[in-house]
Every structure is written in C-alpha cells, then in structure tokens.
C-alpha cells in the first residue's frame, strides 16, 4: 500500500516537473532570440527542468534576505517545533527557523560550492593544459606532483590541511579546491594529450603561434566537453566533502547555514523515521540532478550525435 502511494507520488512529481519544465522552456524561448533561442527551443525537457531549478536556486540565493521570514541565526522558537503556519518547516535543534535557514543555506552552499569548483577547474585545467602542451620536464614534474597528492586520500589530506591552516570559509574553499584540482588536472591533461598530437596543432606550432594562443584558441575548445561533464560531478562532490568534514568535526563556521552541515546536524533524526534531514539533502540532490541534466544536454550538443 505504502509502496503504491510512493509510486503515485513519484508519478505526480514527475508530471509536475515535466509541466514546469515545459512552461519554463516556453517562457525562455519567448524572452530570448537568435542562436540562444534556437538552442533553447531544441533543448530536451530534462535540460529545461535543470535550467529552471538552477534559475530558482539563483533567485533564492540572491534574494535570500527578502524571501526568508526570519533571520539566519536568530533563535525564534523552542527546540524542534513541528511544521506550522508560522514556521513552515519547523525549527532546528537550537530553535532557529528551518525554512529560513534552508533559504540562507542556498546562498552559502551554492556560493561556496561554485567558488570551490571554479577555482579547482581554473587551477587544474590551466596546469593540465600547460603540462600537455609544453610537455617535457614541466609535464613530468607536475604529473608526479599530482600523483603524490592523489595518493593521499583526499578526506584525510583535507583534514590535515584544515587542521593546520584553520577552518575559515576561505581556507575551506582553497583546500578543497586544491585537492579537487588534481583530478581536474589529470582529466584535462589526458584529454589535451589526445588533442596536441593532431595535425592542426602541429600546423599552428609551425605557424609560430604562442603558447597562450595554442592553449586558448586551439586546444581549449576541443577539450571543453569532458571538462564540462566533470564539472557537473565535481560540483556535487564539494557538498559531500563539506558534509563529510563536518561529520569529522570540521566544516563551515557556525552559525552560517549550509546544507552539508544541516544534513549532518539533523542526520540522526532519519534513523527515527523523521524526514527533516531529507530537506537539505534533497536540496543538494535536486541541484546536482539539475546541473547534470544541463551538462548532459551540453555534452550531447558537443558530441555531434544527431538522432
């Protein structure tokens, strides 16, 4: 019976998502023009859904103080109040409004995850492409360095570095970004290695083009697709890293609301069948799915498959 209800709800959720995605695509096509409009019109519904979710998250993140009914850190009620008209999602262990913290969490979490992933990709791909293009000692040196860093389990490495350097948001972003960038380095180097042996690169070299030109104009455009695909997953791994770190007692400074820590704070409840921790976890999952839907669409466009 419960299983049946579950499937009914699942069907309803899917139907509503499809309708929303369709609506969003219609609106988006109406307000854009040219190349973008054409791309959007042909976007699959999943991609439209992904874009809708990302759009909503962005709006919530930017307008957080205006949307949230209560401040981020203020204690406004007693501990663990149930869902009510005043506190839509109840209150947390300290009596802070859960709904407001979810909203502020959007801003903090998405901000931190985006900054971290972007930094990781910047570091990783710059060095990865350099290594592949220049080759020789630079390539050997960087590759061995990355090998060493990857041979140390990332969680333990992060734990060590954060304990040494402290746990401000900036250090957190830097540490996770540097550790993550090793993965990006390997990927971009591997992909670029396949590209640098191509004839057109050889031709550009013979033309006497500089290193910067080679990388930005000739190699980068041909390695974007796998990098973008990786971006989708890396993005979500940042949440996981923060969450795992807060499990081990590090993580984001309180009273800042972030989803990873909120899952951790409320996780015990799930073992009693209380769904509160599913909210921040679900928010992360939804964003991950959305980002990857968009990424899949971009990949598909880039792959040149026509069907």
Contact positions vs other proteins (CB under 8 A) = 44, 46, 73-75, 78-80, 93-95, 144, 147-148, 150-156, 159-164, 167, 226, 229, 233, 236, 239-240, 243-244, 247-251, 253-255, 260, 263-264, 267-274, 277, 281, 284-285, 287-289, 292, 296, 299-300, 303-305
CB of 212 to other proteins, least distance (A): 28
DSSP 218-247: IIHHHHHHHHHHHHHHHHHHHHHHHHHHHH
CB of 225 to other proteins, least distance (A): 8
Q: For residues 183 and 124, is the Cβ–Cβ distance under 8 A?
A: yes
Reduced to 3 states, what is the DSSP secondary structure of residue 71?
coil
**Cβ atoms within 10 Å, residue 272:** 6
**Cβ atoms within 10 Å, residue 299:** 17
**Cβ atoms within 10 Å, residue 280:** 27
Give 46 or 214: the residue with its C-beta nearer to other proteins: 46
CB of 239 to other proteins, least distance (A): 7
Give 29 or 261: the residue with its C-beta nearer to other proteins: 261
CB of 127 to other proteins, least distance (A): 18
CB of 273 to other proteins, least distance (A): 6
Give 63 or 248: the residue with its C-beta nearer to other proteins: 248
Please tell me the distance from the alpha carbon of residue 224 to that of residue 301, in angstroms, as a whole number. 12
Of residues 178, 192, 274, 196, the one with CA closest to residue 225? 192
Give 89 or 204: the residue with its C-beta nearer to other proteins: 89
Reduced to 3 states, what is the DSSP secondary structure of residue 100?
helix
CB of 240 to other proteins, least distance (A): 6
Give 193 or 209: the residue with its C-beta nearer to other proteins: 193
Give 49 or 214: the residue with its C-beta nearer to other proteins: 49
Q: Helical H runs in the chain?
A: 2-31, 34-42, 45-62, 64-67, 98-134, 136-151, 154-165, 169-196, 199-207, 211-213, 220-247, 259-266, 278-303
Please tell me the distance from the alpha carbon of residue 41 to that of residue 114, in angstroms, as a whole number. 27
CB of 93 to other proteins, least distance (A): 5
Q: Helix crossing, 220-247 with 169-196: angle to 10°?
A: 150
Give 216 or 268: the residue with its C-beta nearer to other proteins: 268
Q: 96 has which bridge partners?
A: 75
Give 33 or 303: the residue with its C-beta nearer to other proteins: 303
CB of 56 to other proteins, least distance (A): 17
Q: Is 170 exposed, middle or buried (0-12, 13-18, 19+ CB in 10 A)?
A: exposed
């Amino acid at each position: 019976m419960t299983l049946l209800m579950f499937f009914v709800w699942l069907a309803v959720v899917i139907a509503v998502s499809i309708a929303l995605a369709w609506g969003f695509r219609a609106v988006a096509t109406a307000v854009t023009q040219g190349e973008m409009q054409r791309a959007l019109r042909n976007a699959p519904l999943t991609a439209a859904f992904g874009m809708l979710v990302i759009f909503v998250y962005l709006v919530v993140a930017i307008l957080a103080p205006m949307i949230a009914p209560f401040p981020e850190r203020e204690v406004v009620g007693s501990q663990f109040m149930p869902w009510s008209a005043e506190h839509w999602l109840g209150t947390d262990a300290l009596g802070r409004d859960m709904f407001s913290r979810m909203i502020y969490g959007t801003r903090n979490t998405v901000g931190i995850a985006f900054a971290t992933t972007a930094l990781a990709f910047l570091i990783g791909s710059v060095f990865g492409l350099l290594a592949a293009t220049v080759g020789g000692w630079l390539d050997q040196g960087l590759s061995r360095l990355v090998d060493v860093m990857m041979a140390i389990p990332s969680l333990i490495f992060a734990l060590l570095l954060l304990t040494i350097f402290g746990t401000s948001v900036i250090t957190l972003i830097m540490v996770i970004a540097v550790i993550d960038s090793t993965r990006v380095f390997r990927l971009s180097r591997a992909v670029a290695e396949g590209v640098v042996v191509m004839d057109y690169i050889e031709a550009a070299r013979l033309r006497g083009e500089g290193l910067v030109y080679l990388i930005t104009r000739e190699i980068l455009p041909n390695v974007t697709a796998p990098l973008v695909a990786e971006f989708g997953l890396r993005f979500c791994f940042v949440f996981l890293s923060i969450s795992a770190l807060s499990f081990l007692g590090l993580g984001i400074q309180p009273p800042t609301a972030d989803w990873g820590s909120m899952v951790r704070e409320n996780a015990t409840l799930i073992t009693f069948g209380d769904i509160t921790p599913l909210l921040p976890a679900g928010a992360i999952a939804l964003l991950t799915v959305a980002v990857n839907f968009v990424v899949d669409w971009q990949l598909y466009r880039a792959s040149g498959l026509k069907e």
